[in-house]
Amino acid sequence: MTRVDCLRAIYDRLDDCAVVTIMGAVAAELQSIGHRPNFFYLQHAMGLASSVGLGIALSKPAVPVVVFDGDGSVLMNLGGLSTLARYRPANLVHVVFDNESLLSVGGFPTATGACTRLAEVAAAAGVPRTACATTIDEFVKEFTAAQQARELTTLVAKVDAIGPAAFVTDLGLLENRFQFQRYLQGR
């Protein structure tokens, strides 16, 4: 299963959502499918995408929020899982693309390839709904269920450690940031 196929499979379900992604492959691949004003790419501040999503979810409870996270980023802010779980915004779906690798800096293996199971970590942190998908069908089914559940969900998608050829796109960081803020102002 590839991350870009996962993103393609659920792209049409992001219409109404505030979407926050991590840096690198996730941001570049989502943009390759098609950028929208409701997508914000946190191109640095590794680990904080879920925190940004939490801030939005708590501030706009009526807006569905989707965070596309990664195993390296989650491991860098494991405490953030406990904060997410503590405030458990019902309007947040937290997707973790787990490729067991720090892909964008050369493919160094993370602990999820050795021993750490992030869906179980999230469950133990107190996230009320968790799932782990290894096929596209499972991923779409679990993502759809998470959107309908109205309960904080962490969905781990085990994906191949492959990504796009380049990570820099022609969308400026600040252009994206202000466009996203204006989108949220209208919600």
Q: Is 118 in the site for another protein (CB under 8 A)?
A: no
Q: Is 72 in the site for another protein (CB under 8 A)?
A: no
143-182 residues in contact with another protein (CB under 8 A) are: 173-174, 177, 180-181
Residue closer to another protein by CB (options 82, 116) is 82
Q: Which of 55, 123, 140, 161 binds another protein (CB under 8 A)?
A: 55
Shorter beta-carbon distance to another protein: residue 78 or 136: 78
Residue 58 binds another protein (CB under 8 A): yes
CB 99 within 8 A of CB 3: yes
In angstroms, give the least distance from the CB of 149 to another protein. Answer: 21
Q: Which is nearer to another protein, 144 or 181 (CB)?
A: 181
Which residue in 16, 44, 134, 141 binds another protein (CB under 8 A)?
Answer: 44
Binding site for another protein (CB under 8 A): 18, 20, 40, 42-60, 63, 77, 79-80, 82-83, 86-87, 173-174, 177, 180-181, 184-185
